[in-house]
Structure 1
Amino acid sequence: MPNEGSFEAALRRSDQIQRDLLVHPEDYTMLTGDRPTGRLHLGHYFGTIKERIRLQDLGVSTNVIIADYQVITDRDSTEHIADNVLDMVTDYLACGIDPARTMIFTHSAVPAANQLMLPFLSLVTEAEMSRNPTVKAEQAASGHALTGLLLTYPVHQACDILFCKGNIVPVGRDQLPHIEMASKVARRFNERYGKVFPDVAGLLSSTPLIPGLDGRKMSKSYGNAISIGMSEAETAKLIKRSRTDSERTITFDPEARPGVSALLTTAAICTGRTPEEIAAEIGAGGAGQLKRYVTEAVNGYFAPIRERRRKFEGEPDFVRDVLHEGNRRANEIAERTLDEVREAMGMVY
């Protein structure tokens, strides 16, 4: 029997929940979100947004947080943050997130949710926060001294999940430590003060990691990401100038041929085919034929999404209204939860 804290145990639990979701979607509340540090790209869409829409359409209570406060965990500026937030809402709507069924809101607009940080921080140790892999990785990447906000990042995520009584969070394997922290906080609070919060589980994604066009992690900062909001021409230009290699015959080999393999992976996920199948079809057609194939695959898949996006770009007041309504609803929920917390802690005077 694998260790209950192991990946195998998390995967087993995730599979059980996936089966139950089809029968009892009303038993689940999902919370997930993004940091508004730049434009959403294909990695975000296939990695998380599609799953949010699936859960929404199943009838799960779905909540999406735009984590604007978390931008400053590893950045010194909030320049362009307002544009990034509204652009993110526009992408969500274009992709199929329905504000009538999914609550979209921002960290900074929901003070009662952030106030949960105070009791929650009393439930964890500095050592538990310091050894979180994301905290370590973000600190190393930023080159900055460890800030208090970055150190407490996993606890802030617990606030995001628990203020709305979230019990499932779509994650990749590398994000499981965040779920473990949220579950630990909920369990310790309930043991100390009485049952308020649900148990939290990670809903593990089966979607393969989509590399950037150069084979590295897809990232706007690397210039290797196809943004959801790009035009057809911009997409074609980016794919055309992506680096491949001098070998004419196209094969799928992520280790030896990262650029070619990244293009094949992108085409595969947009067409529902396998990278090997596409490689065999192109054969000796070379990088030029591969890039044309990938361009058609991406632009074909995202054509209806981009058409809807252009519509929402022309309705900025509607986009703002969606966010304002989500913030209003989130505040109502957060205030109720904070009242429950105060009552459980004997802090109603």
Structure 2
Amino acid sequence: MTSAPDGPPGAALGSLELAALRARQRAQQIEEELARDPSRFRVLTGERPTGPLHLGHLFGTVENRVRLQRSGVDTLLVVADYQVITDRDVAGDVRGAVREVVLDYLAAGLDPELTTIFTHSAVPALHQLLLPFLSLVTVAELDRNPTVKAELAATGGRALTGLLLTYPVHQAADILFCRANLVPVGRDQLPHLETTRTIARRFNQRYAGAEPFFPEPDALLSTAPVVLGTDGAKMSKSAGNAIALGADTDTTVRAIRSARTDGDRHITYEPQRRPEVANLLLLTGLCTGRTPQEVAEDIGGRGAGVLKSLLADALLDYLAPLRARRAELAADPQVVHDVLTRGNARANELADETIREVRRLMRMLL
């Protein structure tokens, strides 16, 4: 069955704000469904291997992935090595970066027995989905994607490449190759996910008839706090303001001591008025199981120096098991190879099955 494409991705919502509202409203229902029957869900998530993971990754995404895998959700993590060149001319040491990311995953508690960890470049059938998927969206729709515009602006005036323009379609292939139905995202990634939903819907309408083949995945909207870097901006590998999970003690302490604060000696938790101080309080709270307000009340008028010292001790204690485990894993050169061999094999099985069914639905099988 063939039908004309429907409206542009996100047209039914009208705005990113409405998309976020819908995701928030759905979030509680999803959590309840996860608690009742986690086997109903398959999660796809991951990141580009552009450097080691940092505290923002740990508290923002990785700990939630560990939670999902432990609850019984089928979880797949893509280390998107092909996407490293989306916004740069030279890929650099991608192989080394992949290794560092996988070590961070394992040290943080992601278990290859429960979570499938694989690399983009090792799954050819995943990328075969790009051709039919690209036929389901227009250039105008891709050009309107606010996340693509934001990512283009972050490149510092580079020309828009075809790879960046079609980045949302690549992400759709990442998600739909394994027919994932749940994707943990931040609010700024909702337009990408809406493109995925649109592609799934249009494929089903054109080719699948009465029995939809691809799910229209839901967003598992992150409730994790945004962790700021040492300069007060969002923590980022490219900004040079991050504290890496695998950093040594001296590097960690120096980074905390250099963190920006303000001139008010009395410590209070006011995220809007004092974001840098609030961020240090937040990190201390995350590491100690206390609220930022409780930490602030304990410090009172003793100043930012005491706050930084308290955070350094708490963070080093919190990361000690992770860093010990990471060092143990890094000493075995075979660990990452074995994890990816296993993960790539499963990802290829899923992708091969999907592309065969896609070709059958499109009447391309001989």
Cα shift at 1:127? 1.5
Distance 2:143 2:286 in 1: 36
For residues 52-77 of structure 1, what are the alpha-carbon distances to aligned partners after superposition, in whole Å with 9 as ceiling and x for unaligned?
A: 11111111110000011111110111
Moved more, 116-125 or 327-336: 327-336
Q: 1:174 maps to what in 2?
A: 188
Runs (5+) with no aligned partner, structure 2: 1-11
For residues 224-248 of structure 1, what are the alpha-carbon distances to aligned partners after superposition, in whole Å with 9 as ceiling and x for unaligned?
A: 2111111222211111122223332
The reply to whether residue 277 of structure 1 matches residue 294 of structure 2 is: yes
For residues 86-138 of structure 1, what are the alpha-carbon distances to aligned partners after superposition, in whole Å with 9 as ceiling and x for unaligned?
A: 00000000011110111111111111001100000000111111111221011
Cα shift at 1:14? 2.3
The reply to whether residue 81 of structure 1 matches residue 94 of structure 2 is: yes
For residues 192-231 of structure 1, what are the alpha-carbon distances to aligned partners after superposition, in whole Å with 9 as ceiling and x for unaligned?
A: 0002211210001111111112321101333321111112
The answer as to whether partners of 1:215 and 1:254 remain within 8 angstroms in 2 is no
Cα shift at 1:257? 3.0
Q: 2:5 maps to what in 1?
A: none
Q: For 1:1-349, list aligned pairs within 5 A.
A: 6-142=19-155, 143-194=157-208, 195-349=212-366
- Indicate the percent of aligned positions where both proteins have the same amino acid: 55
The answer as to whether partners of 1:35 and 1:68 remain within 8 angstroms in 2 is yes
The answer as to whether partners of 2:186 and 2:221 remain within 8 angstroms in 1 is yes
The answer as to whether partners of 1:213 and 1:263 remain within 8 angstroms in 2 is no
Moved more, 158-167 or 72-81: 72-81
Which letter maps to 2:166?
T
Distance 1:323 1:17 in 2: 30
Distance 2:218 2:180 in 1: 9
SS at match of 1:6: helix
Distance 1:271 1:321 in 2: 34
Distance 1:259 1:9 in 2: 31
Distance 1:81 1:6 in 2: 34
Normalised by the size of structure 1, how large is the TM-score? 0.96
Cα shift at 1:18? 1.0
Normalised by the size of structure 2, how large is the TM-score? 0.92
The answer as to whether partners of 1:232 and 1:299 remain within 8 angstroms in 2 is yes
